[in-house]
């Protein structure tokens, strides 16, 4: 599924809101899981692509010995700026880089890792080919993608509420991009087109998304992601109205707070 032009725009206040609200809401449980998988490979040098505000990077810094080099990259400099401002447990090389054209030598890394980033790549086989190129022989590419939106309750409630608020042109960012790349056959085909020949290992992992109030998921999705760009394009005052509507919808399903919803993702491990 392709992305729209604003789906990759994480700018303005989005990085700070993303890190403050969305990271603890949905990303932290999978960051710990992914870092553990990377550490089990005992790599000497790790490349993280689409690092965002650094939630996985921080877990990698805890899980890996100081002798392991960690290079964390993202296309969006504002996201990296936030990641660097928060920092990590130990030194990390932060670098702006496009996953479609990685500025690294062939075979430079033992592991390439990406948390919830491949869905945003405009040419997924091309990005996979770049990951394969920079992997050493016998290296590992590990990434995760969100399962379909119906398996991720807060995102589904927000998307449904916005469809009712804007029936003539519903904002579809969440279903279209973060939750739009989950079919195993499609992912396997893109990996083959990217030059990987081994059979990928797929694991579906469910977790829980928790917040102190129903308003937190509404703010997290409506203000802390590019969904905000879609909402604001519909009018000056629509963002605050959208947050109120999504808060009410979340409270209607889960109560006003604390709220607890299911999240689910696929973890893909690929040997080079």
Averaged in consecutive runs of 10 residues, what is the pLDDT profile of the chain (272 residues)? 51 78 94 97 98 96 97 94 93 96 98 97 97 97 98 98 96 96 98 96 97 97 92 92 98 95 98 92
Contacts of 229 (CB under 8 A, 6+ apart): 6, 9, 173
In a domain, 258, yes or no: yes
Which domain covers residue 90, as residue numbers? Answer: 14-271
Considering its fold, how many domains does the chain have in total? 1
CATH code assigned at 168: 3.40.50.150
Whether the link from the prior residue into 99 is cis, omega within 30° of 0, is no
Per-residue DSSP letters for 213-244? STHHHHHHHHHSSTHHHHHHTT-TTHHHHHHH
Q: Looking at the domain assignment, is residue 6 inside a domain? A: no
Instruction: Report the C-alpha gap between 39 and 27 in whole angstroms.
Output: 18
Q: Distance between CA atoms of 39 and 81, rounded to whole angstroms? A: 25
The pLDDT score that the predictor gives to residue 18 is 87
Task: Give the up-direction half-sphere exposure of residue 27: CA atoms within 13 A in the CB hemisphere.
Answer: 25
Report yes or no on 5 lying in a domain: no
Residue 90: helix, strand or coil by DSSP? coil
Give the per-residue pLDDT at 2. Answer: 41
Within-domain flag for 231: yes
Backbone angles phi, psi at 6, to 5 degrees: -95, 0
Q: What is the pLDDT of residue 16?
A: 87
User: Directed axis angle between helix 238-254 and helix 153-165, to 10°?
Assistant: 130
The tens digit of pLDDT for each residue in 161-173 reads 999 999 999 999 9
Q: Residue 1: its pLDDT value, please? A: 39
Please report whether residue 2 resides in a domain: no
The whole-number pLDDT of residue 3 equals: 45
188 CB-near residues (< 8 Å, 6+ apart): 200
What end-to-end distance do the CA atoms of the chain give, in Å?
A: 25
Domain contains 4: no
Q: Specify if 3 maps to a domain.
A: no
pLDDT for the residue 35: 97
pLDDT at 236: 81
Cα of 162 vs its chain's centroid, Å: 21
> d(Cα 155, Cα 234) in Å, to the nearest integer?
20
> Are 179 and 146 a contacting pair, CB within 8 Å?
yes
* b/e burial code for range 168-196 (CB count within 10 A of at least 16 → b): eeebbbbbbbbbbbbeeeebbebbeebeb
Does 108 reside within a domain?
Answer: yes
Nearest-angstrom CA–CA distance, 105 and 123:
21
Task: Give residue-wise pLDDT tens across range 214-227.
Answer: 999 999 999 999 99
Tell me what pLDDT residue 14 has.
78
| Per-residue pLDDT at 12 | 63
CB atoms within 10 A of CB 5: 7
């Amino acid at each position: 599924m392709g992305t729209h032009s604003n789906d990759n725009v994480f700018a303005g206040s989005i990085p700070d809101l993303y890190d403050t609200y969305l990271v603890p809401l949905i990303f932290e449980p999978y960051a710990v899981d992914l870092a553990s998988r990377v550490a089990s490979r005992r790599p000497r040098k790790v490349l993280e692509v689409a690092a965002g505000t650094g939630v996985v990077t921080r877990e990698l810094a805890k899980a890996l010995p100081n002798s392991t080099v960690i290079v964390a990259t993202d296309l969006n400099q504002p996201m990296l700026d936030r990641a660097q401002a928060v920092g990590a447990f130990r030194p990390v090389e932060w670098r702006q880089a496009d996953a479609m054209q990685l500025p690294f030598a062939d075979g430079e890394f033992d592991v390439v890792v990406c948390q919830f980033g491949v869905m945003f790549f405009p040419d997924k086989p091309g990005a996979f080919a770049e990951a394969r190129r920079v992997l050493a022989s016998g290296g590992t590419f590990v990434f995760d993608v969100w399962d379909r939106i119906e398996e991720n309750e807060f995102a589904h409630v927000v998307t449904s509420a916005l469809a009712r608020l804007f029936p003539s042109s519903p904002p579809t960012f969440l279903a279209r991009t973060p939750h739009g790349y989950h079919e195993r056959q499609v992912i396997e085909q893109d990996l083959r087109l990217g030059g990987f020949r081994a059979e990928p290992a797929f694991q579906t992992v469910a977790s829980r998304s928790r917040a102190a109030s129903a308003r937190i998921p509404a703010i997290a999705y409506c203000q802390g992601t590019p969904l905000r760009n879609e909402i604001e394009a519909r009018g000056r005052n629509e963002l605050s109205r959208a947050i109120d509507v999504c808060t009410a919808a979340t409270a209607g399903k889960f109560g006003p707070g604390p709220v607890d919803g299911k999240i689910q993702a696929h973890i893909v491990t690929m040997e080079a």
